[in-house]
Amino acid sequence: MKDSKLGPEAYAASRLASRQAANELQDRFETEGKPFGWFEALYARADGERAAIPWADAAPRFKLEAWLAQSGLGAGRAVDVGCGLGDNARILSAQGWTVTAFDLSETAISWARKRMADQFPKASIEFHTADLFDLPSIWRGAFELVHETYNLQALPRDKVADAMRYISSLAAPGGTVVVITRARDRDEVPDGPPWPLSRDDLDGFREAGLEEIQFEEFFDQRDDPIRHFLAVYRRANTKRNYE
Ligand SMILES: C[S@@+](CC[C@H](N)C(=O)[O-])C[C@H]1O[C@@H](n2cnc3c(N)ncnc32)[C@H](O)[C@@H]1O
């Protein structure tokens, strides 16, 4: 199995344990007042073993691939927010996009770079360690396509609205923002991580100045399918100050 030294049974057991480890790290770092610290700690602890990262499937998200295939968008500059091990970025690259991919975790970024060099040498991706909440100014309004999967649902609840503003700020005039997230009803109380988003939570993108152009509910392809939303937004085609 790619990026794993384990056989199928040990892999399944380790993958299950990784969710518990992620929850414990998230709790610990939250208590220490470092709510983002658990991401780097989890990647570092994995020491190159993919089974230790609960979201690392070594494959692009099927819904992103399906959406890209029918989007009708021409290629341009794309950014993958919170790219993890880089599989969504590589599908964007394979579709002809010029891809920038970033993640807060330095370990995730070196791991992603190595995976691409070893397994997908044709993928052309510029990887960066960067914080969504402290973006390089040259990225503001720079991308025709902004892709966000599963980051919002992993962030501290009180940061989600700000995160939507920063994600939106990456889109060029006329640019598209595609968001994939676990879904919940408005009245459901999420017990995360991950903390699924409600339709109302996603209004943050409209409040950030984007127009919603597609919204879909779907279930993923697991044995016990999980409810998701796909939401697509567009920035108006006028130049503006993104600050
Ligand atoms: C649940 S994972 C999703 C990874 C990937 N998008 C996927 O579909 O598998 C969330 C990712 O967001 C990254 N992340 C968390 N906070 C971030 C921040 N402030 N800026 C950039 N990346 C962040 C984490 O390191 C982690 O790789």
Q: With a cut of 70, say whether residue 87 has pLDDT above it.
A: yes
- CB 88 less than 6 A from any atom of ligand 1: yes
Give the count of beta carbons closer than 10 Å to the beta carbon of residue 241.
6
Determine contact, residues 216/51, Cβ cutoff 8 Å. no
Residue nearest to atom 27 of ligand 1 (CA): 84
Burial 166-192 (b: 16+ CB within 10 A, else e): bbbbbbbeebbbbbbbbbbeeeeeeee
What average pLDDT score do residues 37-55 get?
96
Q: How far is the CA of 96 from the centre of ligand 1 (A)?
A: 23
pLDDT reading at 129 higher than 70: yes
The arithmetic mean of pLDDT across residues 208-233, rounded, is 95
Considering the chain, what percentage of its residues have pLDDT values greater than 90? 85
Q: Is the CB of 82 under 6 A from ligand 1?
A: yes
What distance in angstroms lies between residue 28's CA and the mean position of ligand 1's atoms?
18
* Residue 10 banded pLDDT, cuts 50, 70, 90: confident
Q: How confident is the model at residue 1 (pLDDT cuts 50, 70, 90)?
A: low
Distance 104 CA to ligand 1 centre (A): 7
What are the residue ranges of helices labelled H in the chain? 8-31, 37-46, 62-71, 87-94, 106-119, 160-169, 203-207
pLDDT at 239: 60
Closest atom of ligand 1 to 84 CA is 27
Distance from Cα 27 to the centre of ligand 1, integer Å: 17
Q: How confident is the model at residue 240 (pLDDT cuts 50, 70, 90)?
A: low
pLDDT, one tens digit per residue, over 16-41 is 899 999 999 999 999 999 999 999 99
Considering only CA atoms, which of 70, 242, 116 is closest in space to residue 172? 242
- Of 43, 42, 25, nearest to 34 by C-alpha is 25
Residue closest via CA to ligand 1's atom 17 equals: 104
What local confidence, expressed as pLDDT, does residue 233 receive? 98
Q: What percent of the chain lies above the pLDDT cut of 70?
A: 98
Question: Residue 57 CA: which ligand 1 atom is closest?
Answer: 9
Q: What was the pLDDT predicted at 243?
A: 44
Is the distance from the beta carbon of residue 132 to the nearest atom of ligand 1 less than 6 Å? yes
154-181 pLDDT, tens digit per residue, is 999 999 999 999 999 999 999 999 999 9
Ligand 1 contacts CB of residue 131 (under 6 A): yes
Q: Does domain 62-235 have CATH number 3.40.50.150?
A: yes
pLDDT of residue 242: 47
Tens digits of per-residue pLDDT, 141-160?
999 999 999 999 999 999 99
User: Nearest 5°: phi and psi at 146?
Assistant: -115, 125
Closest atom of ligand 1 to CA, residue 151:
10
Mean pLDDT of 68-73: 94
For ligand 1, is residue 36 a contact (CB within 6 Å)?
yes
> Residue ranges of the domains in the chain?
8-52, 62-235
What number does the ligand 1 atom closest to the CA of 154 have? 1
Instruction: Say yes or no: CB of residue 103 within 6 Å of ligand 1.
Output: yes
